[in-house]
Amino acid sequence: MIIASNVSKKFGKLVALDNVSLTCNKGECIALIGPNGSGKTTLIKSILGMVVCNSGFITFNGKNISHDWKYRERIGYMPQIGRYPDNMTIGQMLEMMKDIRNQKNSLLDEDLIIQFKLNELLDKRMRTLSGGTRQKVSAALAFLFNPDVLILDEPTAGLDPVASEILKEKIIKEKEKGKLILITSHILSELDDLVTQIIYMQEGSLKFHKTIEALRLDTGQEKLSKAIASVMINA
């Protein structure tokens, strides 16, 4: 579904992505893990076309994404930090996004809007929202257009435990429908019952890409956090 071939990206002298290659298929929930600054967000933004790589290429369903934008309507993206027009209300934001995405109301997935009770906050302006509520809006927008691919950058950061659990259940539900989920998180314990594969990034390089079973088998550790720790110690 998404293939990256030898993707590199430099910001000045800094190598943010160093010859990264990967394949992501539908029905997978792939965790992107790595220390701060290891290139996770840059990789995500490259897939979205928000960062243009210096070399290599990315395909979406077999088609090169450069100079293309149509594929983006198949993706729901929850950014690490959502930035919205301060003076718009939640309701106006939702309407604006529906206009931009130009999708029929019947295809909308309002699960998260309902479960996060955003319907009760439609008149609130974006600038007045707490960090957690802003995250809820970002999450609801990512799922709203029923995309084939969900790219979630630190989705549970700032969410309270109840909201976090709602979002996790939603991710599992969509994965089971055969969607592709790419997710980054620092809280490895949260990913345990969610992900099918792990990609580990370090200093812009992809260190490994394994199924969770293979990682467990290789490390003898059941828990993701322990398995990753064991890989890092032995690296």
Where does this chain bind ligand ADP (CB under 6 A)? 11, 14, 16, 34, 36-42
Nearest-approach distance from CB 81 to ligand ADP, in angstroms: 11
Q: Which is nearer to ligand ADP, 38 or 133 (CB)?
A: 38
φ and ψ at residue 155, rounded to 5 degrees: -65, -30
- Assess contact for 29 and 197: CB atoms under 8 A: yes
Both tokens assigned to 72? 């983006």
- List all residues 6 or more positions away from 74 whose beta carbon is below 8 Å from its beta carbon: 60, 147, 148, 149
- Which residue's CB is nearer to ligand ADP, number 166 or number 183? 183
Q: Given the complex with ligand ADP, which of 90 and 142 has the nearer CB atom?
A: 142
Among 38, 41, 135, 185, the residue binding Mg ion under the rule CB under 5 A is 41
- Cβ atoms of 198 and 230 within 8 Å: the answer is no
Q: What is the closest distance, in whole angstroms, from the C-beta atom of residue 121 to ligand ADP in the complex?
A: 29
Q: Which is nearer to ligand ADP, 26 or 186 (CB)?
A: 186
Closest residue by Cα to residue 152 from 192, 115, 179, 116: 179
Q: How far is the CB of 41 from ligand ADP (least distance, A)?
A: 3
From the CB of 44, what's the least distance to Mg ion, in Å? 8
Confirm if 22 and 4 have CB atoms less than 8 A apart: yes
Residues that bind Mg ion (CB under 5 A): 40-41
